Every structure is written in structure tokens, then in C-alpha cells.
Structure 1
């Protein structure tokens, strides 16, 4: 992990993976085939890409029960407690409809309505992600979404990881389908004989999933096009190098393109963390992935002043930000851009990944400058409510008509003026 100064920070910026032209064409073809052939295409692509030949796409009640029975009771209780924490946090995000009336009889307001159906993509591959189930499903449930459809790729034997099924079972999600990749996104967007269409698709995936989400956006809503995971740590001389190194590697092991950055004004800390990262790397099961990540996208930014360190964090706008300083709350007001902010030495990033309650679906690659974590509002829509009284229209009809004619829209003007006939 190299030590750099702020002027070299531009080397950190990564573009979102747009995919190759060949990959985009492949995704477009998959979507077209799923739209035309439904389940048949989904099964064929599942056999082709996941090596799983499926008779049925939907997870059965027996498979849910087997997953529940296969995991030890302590793990079941841990998942239930995590779900409770995450639910409690998201319940505080609820928005309510509101209405405001004026003396002239005007009533204006905003009506909050949950979307009808949400689709959740849970990635497969080298690991199982029950946490992804919780973080995508729970805010939708709190918002009041009635139909939640989950898709996740099967292994070659046609099975879904027990932890993923257990998480879905705990939340009461019964519509779980064994399908991944672009074909899963297409099925959620347009529906098949078995898989119902939804209004919004959330959840991370590989480049084919990301490209498919881009293609279907507009026909359905999506959460974001997420890039590789990121962590930045803002630390002063009071931080422990061993803890900072461990936190940096917690993201490096995700993906070879993950980014791990320490920002500090303490040279002794910078040098100690550099040594600790190398030492701890050798003891990680996923050392090859983490080492590649650290070599390509890991760095320690050594700043001349503390103000420069804070400015550097705001320039990075990281997905995850840990503030490990003598008084972390004193720094909170200075942080403008970060997806999730972890304050103090005991708030290690995995606390947020799994258990504390806030959502771990976060903006990446600098998009925390203008976007937010997945939340309850993402699963609702807002309708404006307008009710004018006769008095209100009488008071404003000429102003509205003049405004319309200023824009050259005569029919707009006449639409309000025709109401004058009512009070002749």
C-alpha cells in the first residue's frame, strides 16, 4: 500500500465499468429473448451460464424448511436480531402524506404511496449474502410494498445458499427464484410465465447485471449502478495501526477492484499502517483478491494539515467512511460527502454491513456527492395534491392565463378562463 500526497489523489478515481461492446450486445440479446420466450429463455440461459438445469425456477417450501433446519440455532438467532435492528432503523425513515389548507379554500398536499412490486437481486458466486437480502427487502417492507420478488443464481446442482434462503424465510419472502445474471433482471423487468414483473429492481451484481439494469431502466426503476466497494479512513495519531489495517482489508477482500484508503496527517501512523497491511495480508483466506486490490487501488494519503485531510475525504466522497480520531463527533459536521459514516474506534465498517441497522447499499465511486444509501423513500412515490376553491381560482385565473400565454400556450389559458362561466 503506497503512501502518496493529496496531489496524487487523481489516481484513485475509477470509472464505472461500462462493459465492452460485446458484453452490451450479449445483454441486449438476453433481454430480448427473455421478453419473447419467458421461462424457456431463463432456463436456457441458467443452464448455459450457471451450469444448472432446472425443472422449476421457484424455490419450494421444502427448500426453505431444509435451509432453516440445516443452520445452527445460534446463527438463526443472530440473523433474526440483525433483521430486527435493520427494521428498527428503517422504520424511523417513514414519510407521511401531508395537506395544507388556506383561508381561500385551497388545499395543497403530498400523498405518499408505496410502489406495488419490488424485485431484489441477491448475488451468488463465491459467497452467500444473507445481508443483501435484509438490506434490500426490509426498506421495501417498511415502505409498505406488498409484492417482493427475489432472484438469486443457483449453483450447478440447482441450489441456493442456505443463508440466503434463511434470510428470506425470516422476512417472510416466499417469491424466490433460482435465476441470476442479465436474464434475472430481464425477468423482473418484463415478467415471465413464472416470475412476476416488478416496478423497481435493487441489489448488486456483476457487470452483466449492471448492464442489464441500465437497459431496463425507464421500463422499471433501479436503485443505482454500483461500482466496486470502497472504504476511506480519516485518522489522527490516536488511531491504532492494527485496527486501521484490518478495516482497510475488510473491503479489499471483496473484489480486486475495491478501494481502501487511509487519510491522515500523522506520518508515524501512515508508516505503521503500511506495515500492518502487508503483515495482515499474509493471513487472509482471500489474500490473492485483497492483495491485488491493495496494490492497484489501496493508498495512504499523507496530508500536511488536518484541514487538508478533511478536504481530501470530501473530494473522495467515499462509500464507507470511518472517522477514528480523538473526538470523531467534532469532525462529523465537516464531512459533506460519504455514503455511511462510522464514528470512533469501535465502529468498524462490518458493524454497518451486518448488524447495526443502517443500510449497506451505498453510493460508490464519488456518487455520494449527490446520492444517498438505499432507504424507505426509494420504495415509495409522491403524488402532488391540488384542490382549488372557486374563490382561489377567481383570485388567480387572470394570472394563470397570462402566464400560459407568455409561454405561447393558448389552450392552457382558455382551460382556466372557461371556469369564469360558472360565476356569471
Structure 2
């Protein structure tokens, strides 16, 4: 069901290992997808809502007359939401909001010279488009993960887009959570056309400054193509889980966690890294046992048997740590005897889950952390979505005459050194009048 990659003994034999290349990873060719989404984004740019509706009918097989979801539909969705589901979402919202508020931060005031002040103001992005997937699994939890940190950041204008279901509206649970969070600007549109609609604006929808949220390869490609036109959070594609484990790990837990992420998509990646052949054998047996009892067995089997998934055998945990750090997984679980200490050595991961009682599923819903995370190795340079994603740092400079005069000579010297004498003149002009 799942392939093995054996790295044991190869370093001792004198081989130099390229760990990034050796760890299983799916081919996720965003560059190729750009050729598909470019004409879509251009059509939306020039023809607005008409183009969005046409592409929606083509790709989602749903004819949508009015892209804006009516307020009554949002209200009805919340009224009809199962009370137990509502309660669970309220707890998820509470936890994510508490973590976001702790992360918010404050303006920073500095005085590098007497009378010279520099303030770093944290300013919210003014308008954000939030994308919520609605394909195989309508991710209503992504509404929470997108909206709550943006609200805590103080973003004054938020709009949500999610693909329409057969009734022409986004999934009712997605609508219910929007209503629960007070989001009344919701659009029934998905895919690259939704990203373009937010980026360029269309009839009844002002263009946004930033787009966040996960999606399929075409959503990711549209975000990459339009980056610069708008800001983006990261390129969050098919989900990934890596588990670093030793003999202390429970094979049934590890297998269940690998399966949980494989459930998302046939392109989902599930990777176990371990020095223990015994654990590898037990996990493989558990995968076979557990998958046959799951609802989405076919999808999970395809993901686990794909080139993006595997069991990587390593010489020891130190090599295993180097492997998962090079991989830079979206989700990294560490189930080892020294899990907390080992987690402190990790530099590259979207989020790290420590020990047997912190599974990725907890982070997907109710840990208080965010589940919109960088994939495809982007964790080496990008962060997961948080309140900071929606804040810009802006310096405010306020010098007195005396403070400027004190440093004027240095400014003029540096301006002349760069052959920009008018820069220096802007300083001396103030003291020659």
C-alpha cells in the first residue's frame, strides 16, 4: 500500500544524500497550471462577473445567476445548523481567537537619538478576500481559520468566496459559519475565477488587497500569477503530514494520523520517518487494517500508494530529524521519547505537533492554531496563516530640528557617496534659510 525509502547505511558508505530529493513528494507543477489559469484570469479581468459565471458553469457544473449570496441564505443556514456542530464551531472560534489575540502584538516605539523617534505601526490590510474550498470536503473549518485572525488584526472589509453546490450556493455549513462570524459578503464562486474576481473586482465586488486560503492547484496557480496585483498568504496546495517516530510511538496512532490526511485528496502526502523497522512494519499492517474500515477507502488508498507518500527508514533519530527538516512538511508530528526537545531543533514545518496526544486533526479544528499552512516545501520560507498575515508594519519617523541637525552631516556624506547630491541638499536646505 505504501512504498519504502531506505536511507540506512548510505552516509556511512560515503554517499552524499540530497534529502529534499529523496523524501517522497508529489509532482505539483504550478508553473504548468499557470498556462491553464492565465486565460481564465484575463477573461475575468475584462468581463468580470459574466466570465466568473461562465467558468463556474464549466468547472463546477452549476449555473449561478447572482454570485453574491443573499443575507437570508446566510441566516437560514445558521438557523438550520445542527446545535452540536454549532457548539463545536463556537469552541473552535474561541480558541483560534484567543491564540490570535495573543499574537496580535503592539506598535513598537524607538528613539535612536534624542528628539528622533521611529514608531513601527502595525496596520491591518484594508480589504481581504478569503477563499474556502468546497470540493470533495467543503472545509467550513477554513472559514474560522481565515476569518478569525483577520478580524483580530482589525481588517475592516472581509469577503468570502467558496464554490457553489448544486443549489447554486456554497455549502450550507460554510454559510452558517460565515453568519456565525458576522461575515455578510459571501460569493458563490470557486477556482481560479474566484481568485481573479477578488484580485480585479467585478460588478458589486470591490477588488481586494490580499487573498488568503487553501485550494487546488489552479487556485494556487492563480494566486501565484496575481501576486503583486494582490498580496497572498502562501501557496497552500494538497495537504501533507510527516511523522517522525521511534519505538515509543503507538503504531495504531501513527497509522490513523497518516490516514487522516490522506483522506483529503488522492494527491495528499503521508510520510513516516523512523529508524525502527519494527514500527514501520507495524504501521504498514495498521494502515491495511484501518483503511478498509474508513468511509473514503478508495481515495485514501490512492494517496497512500502514490509517489508522494512513503515510509522513510533512517539510521537514527538525528538523521530522521534532518530528513523531516529538509522536507518542510505542512504538518509535522514528532512521536519520540524526546519529542519536546527534538521539536525545538526543527526549522522548517508549517506546524509541529508534539507527542501522542497532539494529532494533526486537533490542529485542523480545535487546537487554537491555524490550519492554513504552507505546503510543497514552502515552510522553509513561509509561515502559516495568522493574525500577522493581515498586518503590515509601517515606520513613522518624527525628528526634531535638533535631532536632524545632529545627524545631518552623516546623511549628506552618505548621499554624496551614492552620487545623490540632491538627497543631501534636502537636508542642508533646512539649515541655510
Q: TM-score, normalised by structure 2?
A: 0.92
Contact 1:214–1:225 (Cα < 8 Å) also in 2: yes
Deviations 1:346-388 (A, max 9, x none): 1111000011110011111222222211111111111111122
Counterpart residue number, 2:29: 17
Contact 2:133–2:162 (Cα < 8 Å) also in 1: yes
Alignment equivalent of 2:277, drawn from 267, 272, 287: 267
Counterpart residue number, 1:304: 315
Counterpart residue number, 1:173: 183
Contact 2:113–2:403 (Cα < 8 Å) also in 1: no
Contact 1:2–1:274 (Cα < 8 Å) also in 2: no
Contact 2:272–2:311 (Cα < 8 Å) also in 1: yes
Could you tell me how far apart the structure 2 residues matched to 1:195 and 1:104 are?
48
Could you tell me how far apart the structure 2 residues matched to 1:368 and 1:47 are?
35
Could you tell me how far apart the structure 2 residues matched to 1:365 and 1:24 are?
17
Alignment equivalent of 1:69, drawn from 60, 79, 91: 79
Counterpart residue number, 1:192: 202
User: Could you say if the C-alpha distance between residues 208 and 102 of structure 1 is closer, same or farther in structure 2, counting changes exceeding 3 Å?
Assistant: closer
Alignment equivalent of 1:30, drawn from 35, 40, 44: 40
Could you tell me how far apart the structure 1 residues matched to 2:42 and 2:320 are?
49
Report deviation, 1:30. Answer: 2.2
Matched, 1:4 2:5: yes
Work out the number of aligned pairs and report it: 420
1:122-161 superposed matches below 5 A:
122-161=132-171
Contact 1:235–1:325 (Cα < 8 Å) also in 2: yes
Could you tell me how far apart the structure 1 residues matched to 2:348 and 2:218 are?
29
Matched, 1:90 2:91: no
Counterpart residue number, 1:396: 407
Could you tell me how far apart the structure 2 residues matched to 1:26 and 1:238 are?
47
Alignment equivalent of 1:411, drawn from 403, 409, 422: 422
CA RMSD of aligned residues (A): 1.7
Could you tell me how far apart the structure 2 residues matched to 1:28 and 1:269 are?
46
Counterpart residue number, 1:212: 222
Compare 24-33 and 69-78 and name the one that shifted more.
Answer: 24-33
Contact 2:68–2:188 (Cα < 8 Å) also in 1: yes
Counterpart residue number, 1:316: 327
Secondary structure in 1 aligned to 2:267?
coil
Secondary structure in 1 aligned to 2:160?
strand
Q: TM-score, normalised by structure 1?
A: 0.94
Report deviation, 1:225. Answer: 1.5
Contact 2:26–2:269 (Cα < 8 Å) also in 1: no
Could you tell me how far apart the structure 2 residues matched to 1:115 and 1:262 are?
39
Could you tell me how far apart the structure 1 residues matched to 2:258 and 2:101 are?
31
Could you tell me how far apart the structure 2 residues matched to 1:16 and 1:421 are?
62
For structure 1, the residue ranges without an aligned partner over 5 or more in a row are none
Contact 1:149–1:196 (Cα < 8 Å) also in 2: no
Secondary structure in 2 aligned to 1:118?
strand
Could you tell me how far apart the structure 1 residues matched to 2:376 and 2:41 are?
27
User: Could you say if the C-alpha distance between residues 103 and 306 of structure 1 is closer, same or farther in structure 2, counting changes exceeding 3 Å?
Assistant: closer
Contact 1:31–1:183 (Cα < 8 Å) also in 2: yes
Compare 206-215 and 375-384 and name the one that shifted more.
Answer: 206-215
Secondary structure in 2 aligned to 1:382?
strand
Contact 1:99–1:107 (Cα < 8 Å) also in 2: yes
